[in-house]
A and B are shown apart, each in its own frame.
Chain A
Amino acid sequence: MTDLAHIRNFSIVAHIDHGKSTLADRLIQSTGTVQDRDMKEQLLDAMDIERERGITIKANTVRIDYVAENGEKYVLNLIDTPGHVDFAYEVSRSMRAVEGSLLVVDSTQGVEAQTLANVYQAIDADHEIVPVLNKIDLPASDCDRVAEQIEDVIGIEATDAIRVSAKTGVGIRETLEAIVQKLPAPTGEREAPLKAMLVDSWYDAYLGVVVLVRIMDGVLKKGDKIKMMQTGAAYGVDRIGVFRPAMQVVEELGPGEIGFLTASIKQVRDTKVGDTITHEKKGAEKPLPGFKPSIPVVFCGLFPVDSAEFEDLRDAIEKLALNDASFSFEMETSAALGFGFRCGFLGLLHLEVIRDRIEREYDIELITTAPSVVYHVYMRDGSKIDLHNPADMPDLTHVDHIEEPRIKATILVPDEFLGDVLKLCQDRRGIQQDLTYAGSRAMVVYDLPLNEVVFDFYDRLKSVTKGYASFDYHLTGYRQDNLVKMQILVNDEPVDALSMMVHRERAEMRGRAMCEKLKDLIPRHMFKIPIQAAIGGKVIARETLSALRKDVTAKCYGGDATRKRKLLDKQKAGKKKMRQFGKVEIPQEAFISALKMDN
C-alpha cells in the first residue's frame, strides 16, 4: 500500500506506430522493473498477432517503482494503449482508470488523426497531458515544427515537450521526472467504503477470470467478500496483485492503486467493464458512472471451408469471445455456405484479427462474407428491424424506409493530396463539414455513411495519399437514405453470401464493379457463366465468363508419370479452397476481394 502522494497513474496514447509500446519498454527497463535479459521489444505486446503485426491490440498495465530526483520513491502505473481506430474503446476506458496521459507524437510525422482523437478523449477524462516528442534519433525528426503543430492544431502548450528517443533511451529520465512532477496524484479515501472500477477482465488458463481494477476509495484485501454493483453478483476474493508486468501477489490494494483480483468467477461475461466493485457488507451506496458500452459496427459471416468443421468453429468463436467482449456472434445459415456465424466487430482490423486467430490458433479455414453495417429497417406496420445481414432483408413491400449509420470522419492530409481526398469522400457520399489548415496540412471533417467506409476506404485513402493521410472516425447516428439490396447471380443462381446493401444511385456502379471483379476471380469452367447484379429481380449489370478453352499439359517428361499424378493432387489441394454453387466453383477469397473497389 502506497500513500496517494506517491502514486502516479497514466496512460500512454498516440497515433498508431508513434512508439507507445517502445516508450513503455524504456520506462519498464530503466526503472529495473524487468531485468535486461528478460527484455524484448514491445514487451507488452504479448499476443502472437500483436507481435506479428507490430501493433498493440489490447491495453496493458504495468506497475513501476521509481526513485525520483527528489530522492522519494514513487509507484507509477502505466497503461499502454492501442493506436488503431478500431480499438479506440480500449483507450477510452483505460483513460478512465488514470489521471494523466503521455501524449506521444512521432517527431518525424507530426500530429495525426488518432493523436487528435486521443487528445479529445484525454480532455474528456479531465487528464493532465504531458506531450512527448518521440523518435528524435531519426534524421527526419523535426521537433520545433511538431511542437508548433501541437500548439496550433491541438491547442496545448508544447514548448517544453520532452524530446525522446524510445529507441535509444534519450529523454527517458526526463519523462519519468515529468510524470512525477506534472501529473496529479490520485485522490481517494482509505476509510471510505470500497469503490473499485472494473477496468477490464480476461480469461487466464491457470487463474480463470482475472479482473483489472482501479481502487477509487477504500481498501481491497484477499478474502474480502465483494459485490458487483451492476450485476449484483457476489464473490470471495481469492487473490489480489499487481502487474510488473508479470503478475505479483500483494496483500492489499488501496486508494489510487491499480491491480488485479481473482475470485471464482466463471466467465468473462459475468463481469461488466465499467462496473463498480464494492464490499458485500457496508458497501458503497452509489456506483461510479460506468462506461459507455462498445458496440460492434461491422458484421460479416464466418463459415468453415470444410463444413465438417462447424462445431470446431463454434468452439473457437466461443473461446475467443470469452476474452473479447466487443466481439459478438450468432449462428447463421446460408443456402450456399451452410452453417456458420454472423459476427460483429469494432472495425475491419478487428475482424481481420479475429479471423486470423481462428484460422491460425484453431486451424480452421474460413470463408468470410461481405462485411456489412447494421441498418435500421422500419416496417409499414411500425416495427423496426436491426438488419445485420443483407440476406435477411425483408420483402420491400413491407418496408417503409431504411436508415443507415453515419460517422464523423477526421482526415489529416498534406496539401498536395487534398484534392484526391475530397474526391474520395465525395465519391463515397460524404458531406463536408469542415476544412482547416495547420501548416502544410489540411484537416478535413466529413459526415460519411459507415457502409462506404467500412470496407476499403482506409486502403483507398492510403493509396491516393501515398500513405501520408491519417484517419479517425466515430459513429454519429442514423439517417434515412435510398438504400436497396443488391443481389449477385452466378450462373443464374443468387449467391446470398455476395448480396449487399447499396445506395440506389451507386447500385449500377457497384454492380458493374462486382461483376467485373467476379469475372476475374472465378476460374473459367467448361461452360460459360453469366454473372449478374440485380435489384429486386431487375438485372442492373451483367458480365459473362467465357468457357475454359485450354487446360492441357504440353510437355511430356519422359516416363515421369508420377509428376503428372502429383500435378493433379496439387490441384486437388487447391480445390479445397473453392465452394460449389450449383455447377460453379467459387474460390473463397472471391467473397472479400469482389468488394474491393479500385477507384
Chain B
Amino acid sequence: MNATSSTVQIKGLRDSLLVALTGETWDENQSALLTQIDGRASFFQGARLVLDIGTQALGVDEMVQLRDLLSERGISLWAVLSESPKTEKTAQLLGLATRLSNKSRVEEKRPAAAPVGEDAALFLSKTLRSGTRIEYPGHVVIFGDVNPGAEVVAEGNVIVWGRVRGVIHAGAKGNRQAVICALDLSATQLRIADEVSATLKPQKNPRPEVASINKDGRLQAELWQPG
C-alpha cells in the first residue's frame, strides 16, 4: 500500500492521521487529497485528520468547504498546521487546533507508515463504536469495548481489556499462532488467519477468555486460567 503521492504525504500519529499537502495551489492540494481518500475509503473512514498545509493562506470559505467535503466522507478535520498567519487565524475561527501536543506528535505506525516490526502494537484507549474499523500490521491492544458493528483487523494478536461484541480478525495475513484475548468474548464473529468462529453467546457472568486455533485446526475460545 503506497501511502504517498507527490503532493499528499500521510503519517499515522497517536490518535490521528497527519497529512502534509505540498502542492503548488490549493485546488491542486484539495483534489489530490480527495483522490487519495476516495481511493482508500476504509483506511480513512472515521479518522481524525491533522492537515499540514505549509505556507498556503486559506480563508474561512475554503477551509469550511474542505471540512464539509471531509465530513461527508466520515473524516473529521481536527487540526490545521500552517506557517501562514491567515490560515492559523481561520483555523482558530473554526475551532480547529493549530498546534499538536508533543503527546500526539508521537508517531504511531499505522498501515500508512513504513512496515512495522513483529513486536509493534497499536494501543487504543477507547471504546470502538459501530462503524469503526481498525486495521494494523502488528498487534492491537484495546482498553475499552469493541461494540457490535465495529471491526478490528490485526496481523498479530488482539487483546481487549473490555467486552468484545463486534468482529475481530487476528493473524489477518495468515498467522495461525495469533490469539484473541478479552475480558468478555461475546463477539459477533472471531477470525484467526482463515478460521472463522460462529457467534459466541453472551455469557451471564463473563470471564476472561483466550481464543486460538487448537491442534485440530479449529478456532476455539477457552476460559483464561491464571498461572
Same complex origin of A and B: no
Report A's interface with B, CB cutoff 8 A. Answer: none
Report B's interface with A, CB cutoff 8 A. Answer: none
